């Protein structure tokens, strides 16, 4: 049976992207970022040798893009502010007046068109000179970030609806120090732990600076969160899931929202001599300056089991010493991205936040489906018929709706993303947008999903076959 799922009044319908993935270099002057440097040195690591110099060219086309936001039903949108653009002298020194003018023009254009600007301060795009000076391992870089953040609050505070210190702060730690998909491409957990701790401290110090300004907006953080499911209820599988969850979910969620660190994680890091350096004053700062709002990025769950093979203790210390991935038979996959599609995970995540994090004001800040070779789905009129994306969005939103019905304080849903954007080392391999991009010409074309998104936003909901909702109070335990 179909039922109309209506969302709360003033629900945030929108999407998100980042400066590095969408702006292009522009002509304001801009420091070289870690991504630009890495592309110069190893272009072969990037799909089809495509870097971030042009991307979606949002810098030159932002007025057109704001109209595309309206056409796709946005009432809110998350940008990121480029540290390298704001401080073109290697991320420090004098602020760039041309960058201020650009962002003020963009934010004003959004506000004048009824689109609430959500501004994120860091989305993986450190000026490379600061990375070479130690990156997040360095207290001097933390200080430079806080100065950048404070400058943004003062320059744009009258135009921004909500602020965010970081997007997915776990990402650069995993990629840069554990898994080799992010500059500086090291395999060194202890250095990663120091970078992670300093990132958490930078988050707290930015919030401390924000609170002094008495702005009407709120400040929070965007975290990539995946519920962790054990293979079975066997004690060793449960322990594996607990440890995996501590490393990959609670490591940033706990300190950034609660101001404390997960005991299991600290216990393991002490036992294996992987603790970062810190002071008691740092812990007080982190405790007293936590997120006021939380963005939840959800793409896939984590499924793990107890290790079946022994660890070579001469190899570098890594989280997977304690668990292995569980490849659950029968799971649905997005074969292009290699991610499991499990809609109920977004519900479980919302319930976790409700029950264990004070039901902090939250929103779905990213959720989306990347698909390769979408030109296969062009119709006779030249539109991509991406019904798979429409189904993906509705299936996830149905579980968000159910979580709201059960008391979760979820204020909105932001898709990743609204125009196809450059996706780091995957470049334009997989497309995520409601609007397609011709990379050669920059032409934007509405996809079928963009039309759907507008209708859904206008109606503040959609019809859904409720029998598809399972594992909730509404859907039972089947």
Which residues are known catalytic residues?
A: 366
What the block records as the tokens of 478 is 């089947």
With contact defined as beta carbons under 8 Å apart, do 26 and 425 qualify?
no
List phi, psi (to 5°) of 16: -155, 155
Q: What whole-number distance in Å separates Cα of residue 318 and Cα of residue 314?
A: 11
With contact defined as beta carbons under 8 Å apart, do 417 and 432 qualify?
yes
What the block records as the tokens of 62 is 């932002």
Strand segments, DSSP code E, in 54-208 are 76-80, 116-120, 162-167
Beta bridge partners of 229: 303
What are the CA-CA distances from residue 363 to residues 13, 73, 203, 341, 370 (Å)?
Answer: 10, 17, 19, 20, 21
Reported residue count of the chain is 478
Nearest Cα residue to 438 out of 39, 124, 180, 61: 61
Q: What whole-number distance in Å separates Cα of residue 386 and Cα of residue 428?
A: 17
Q: What whole-number distance in Å separates Cα of residue 411 and Cα of residue 473?
A: 20
- Transcribe 182-230 into DSSP letters: STT----HHHHHHHHHHHHHHHHHHHHHHHTTT-SSEEEEEEE---EEE
Helix (H) and strand (E) counts for the chain? 16, 19
């Amino acid at each position: 049976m179909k039922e109309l799922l209506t969302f709360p009044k003033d629900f945030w319908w929108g999407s998100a992207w980042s400066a590095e993935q969408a702006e292009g270099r522009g002509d304001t002057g801009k420091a070289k970022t870690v991504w630009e440097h890495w592309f110069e040195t190893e272009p072969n690591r990037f799909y089809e040798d495509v870097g971030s110099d042009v991307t979606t060219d949002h810098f030159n086309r932002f007025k057109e893009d704001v109209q595309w936001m309206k056409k796709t039903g946005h009432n809110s949108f998350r940008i990121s502010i480029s540290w390298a653009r704001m401080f073109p002298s290697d991320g420090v020194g004098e602020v760039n007046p041309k960058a201020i003018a650009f962002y003020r023009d963009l934010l004003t254009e959004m506000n004048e068109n009824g689109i609430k600007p959500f501004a994120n301060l860091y989305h993986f795009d450190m000026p490379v000179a600061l990375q070479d000076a130690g990156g997040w391992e360095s207290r001097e870089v933390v200080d430079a970030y806080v100065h950048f953040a404070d400058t943004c609050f003062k320059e744009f505070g009258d135009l921004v609806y909500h602020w965010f210190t970081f997007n997915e702060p776990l990402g650069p730690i995993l990629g840069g120090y554990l898994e080799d998909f992010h500059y500086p491409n090291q395999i060194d957990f202890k250095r990663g732990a120091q970078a992670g701790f300093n990132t958490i401290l930078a988050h707290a110090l930015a919030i401390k600076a924000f609170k002094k300004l008495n702005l009407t907006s709120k400040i929070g953080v965007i975290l990539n969160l995946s519920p962790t499911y054990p293979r079975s209820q066997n004690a060793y599988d449960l322990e594996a899931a607990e440890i995996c969850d501590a490393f990959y979910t609670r490591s940033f969620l706990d300190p950034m929202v609660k101001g404390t660190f997960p005991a299991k994680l600290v216990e393991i890091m002490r036992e294996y001599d992987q603790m970062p350096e810190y002071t008691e004053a740092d812990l007080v700062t982190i405790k007293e300056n936590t997120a006021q709002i939380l963005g939840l990025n959800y793409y896939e769950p984590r499924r793990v089991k107890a290790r079946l093979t022994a660890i070579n203790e001469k190899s570098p210390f890594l989280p997977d010493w304690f668990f292995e991935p569980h490849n659950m038979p029968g799971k649905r996959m997005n074969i292009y991205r290699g991610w499991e599609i499990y809609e109920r995970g977004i519900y479980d995540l919302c319930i976790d936040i409700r029950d264990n994090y004070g039901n902090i004001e939250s929103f779905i800040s990213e959720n989306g489906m990347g698909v390769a070779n979408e030109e296969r789905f062009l119709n006779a009129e030249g539109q991509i018929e991406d019904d798979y994306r429409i189904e993906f969005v509705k299936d996830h939103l149905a579980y968000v709706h159910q979580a709201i019905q059960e008391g979760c304080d979820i204020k909105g849903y932001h898709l990743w993303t609204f125009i196809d954007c450059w996706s780091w080392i995957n470049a334009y391999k997989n497309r995520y947008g409601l609007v397609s991009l011709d990379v050669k010409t920059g032409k934007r074309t509405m996809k079928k999903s963009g039309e759907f998104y507008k209708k859904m936003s206008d109606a503040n909901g959609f019809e859904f076959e409720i029998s598809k909702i399972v594992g909730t109070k509404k859907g039972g335990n089947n």
